[in-house]
Structure 1
């Protein structure tokens, strides 16, 4: 069922674990800068070397300036600065000093020049033997965690072990459809550790409505949209949010409001794994119960416009890109799953309007 979730325990990337990264890697950075002067035995013995801004040297072991590696290490320093201060800065390579057994790379960070000591094959940081690639990866993960938490905090979104995401939409609001396009890859990424629910915005009055025992149920774009709202909610309830996401992406692309009464079946068949006969049976048996529930949720949350996204009960007012949604939701975990370290993308346009 859609509401059944497995809690995911991950070793990183927010809250206390983010601080562990900061302490561990921050200690490393400090060691890289001052370790040579305090503990010279931790760094390979030096020869009188060459200096320069590019090219080869003629020291004991030939050093080749690898611009890609230099840029990667600069990114590491910039990420550390961001995790430490929450501020963006550039780490600009300025020069190097060949020390014979290793090399000092100098960067200007926040207006100050600092050396980073690395092995000539770019495999290790000094002091000590810290492997460069995994250390850089750790810092990238720490930066992503900090960015996620910042995105959530900026919106005042509280944290929880299982973030609750409600998507208030209308099945044929163009802005809502674009927001769904941004959410689809995030749902596919995080559905095992967060709870996603589409809620269809239903009004008690409108130009074209369905009546049940004196109660009117209306969707902004008429009854064709109203009944598609019900079908989409049934698909969500029967098959879960991942299948729902696949289905709405297909229906939004292939169907229109004028043909959705029949096209919905074509879209479901194209996605696969949806028993349209069972959907029709549930529609006939429960459509007004579903509409009453959706209207109650609309009213309880004081929602009138599509799309409205709520994360842990707080309306998200950020961008409508997949990455923006992912960052905000990942920042709402007390302990973020490892999937939060992944980037997401979509073809959705970041629209700013709404229906309603």
Structure 2
């Protein structure tokens, strides 16, 4: 029987007769400690960053654009590459400052301009430039992004979702009109997110595959595990277009039987696939999740680039249309700018 680290520790202490000493700390001491930490942080922001951070905006205006990079003093240079970030900042016309922060567990870069603040994606130079381009419209940064896009005649989208995740459903609802607009110029491949260990029995399935136990766990329980299999089978045997029509129908009413009947899908064929092949289709999807490090629903890649824009048809269309070698005329058509759900992930 497996047990958690805490349960194991408890068992050892019982066997060895180790007693547990509990020290009750008065609430007022904890409160003073929290206030002290916030005070130190506020002083740091006042002294070094000028404005005070308030989420997506800052109190006070920052002239020009400044990137502040905070990292732990012991962070390895190959991981916290200050000189590289400084070089990129200079290239894209942004001031750069770096500071040691012993309280940091990792590192973070913040871009300040006027009364706004953005978290900078510095996982690659293109992502770094893309953040600056979107935030402040730097000509050099925007040009670099445009010159380094992987442009194709057919744009490929890798869509990582959970069939019962409201955020994933909102993303599918945003992509669906774009697919209908661009048709075969846009190719979408769905992947269903299944975790390799179970947090509960609900939604958990383990099978032996080539002598190795493979576990799939669906966050939203058995209904999601089964629905993931069904959608994987529809995509495999009936293709992307039928899958889209089914998904759009299912997302509206969660009634699979109604959607299958409405689309004239052979239920017996799909059920046989679910029983005999569904697990193995999802195993391949799980491997893709690990390869892309895509464990949150939704996670979307467009020609290999992570999509972080608005979850609206218009926002997604504009992003996709950047990746065409020759921009289709359909890209000029305006779609809805309304999102069906706030940003977030399951």
Please state which band the TM-score falls in when normalised by the shorter chain. Answer: 0.5 to 0.7
**Alpha-carbon separation, structure 2, partners of 1:159 and 1:279:** 36
2:167 is the counterpart of 1:175? yes
The offset of 1:153, in angstroms, is 4.1
Residue equivalent to 2:218: 219
Distance 1:342 1:280, change over 3 A: same
State which structure, 1 or 2, has the greater radius of gyration over its C-alpha atoms.
1
Residue equivalent to 2:179: 187
SS at match of 2:273: helix
| Per-residue CA distance 1:300-324 (angstroms, 9 max, x = gap) | 1001100111001111111000011
Distance 1:275 1:328, change over 3 A: same
More strand by share: 2
Distance 1:250 1:244, change over 3 A: same
**Counterpart pick for 1:352 among 318, 343, 346:** 343
Length, aligned pairs only: 198
Residue equivalent to 1:269: 261
Distance 1:330 1:238, change over 3 A: same
2:249 is the counterpart of 1:254? no
2:205 is the counterpart of 1:210? yes
The offset of 1:243, in angstroms, is 2.0
**Alpha-carbon separation, structure 1, partners of 2:316 and 2:194:** 24
Q: How does 1:302-341 map to 2 (within 5 A)?
A: 302-341=293-332
- Root-mean-square deviation (CA), in Å? 2.3
2:342 is the counterpart of 1:343? no
2:230 is the counterpart of 1:235? no
**Alpha-carbon separation, structure 2, partners of 1:352 and 1:196:** 21
The offset of 1:156, in angstroms, is 6.8
| Per-residue CA distance 1:112-159 (angstroms, 9 max, x = gap) | xxxxxxxxxxxxxxxxxxxxxxxxxxxxxxxxxxxxxx7994897422
Whether the 8 Å CA contact 2:154–2:184 is kept in 1: the answer is no
The offset of 1:241, in angstroms, is 2.2
**Counterpart pick for 2:269 among 278, 288, 297:** 278
In structure 2, the gaps of 5 or more residues are 1-141
Residue equivalent to 2:244: 245
**Alpha-carbon separation, structure 2, partners of 1:287 and 1:171:** 14
In structure 1, the gaps of 5 or more residues are 1-149, 256-262
**Alpha-carbon separation, structure 2, partners of 1:215 and 1:151:** 45
SS at match of 1:280: helix
| Per-residue CA distance 1:48-107 (angstroms, 9 max, x = gap) | xxxxxxxxxxxxxxxxxxxxxxxxxxxxxxxxxxxxxxxxxxxxxxxxxxxxxxxxxxxx
**Counterpart pick for 1:200 among 192, 198, 205:** 192
The offset of 1:253, in angstroms, is 1.4
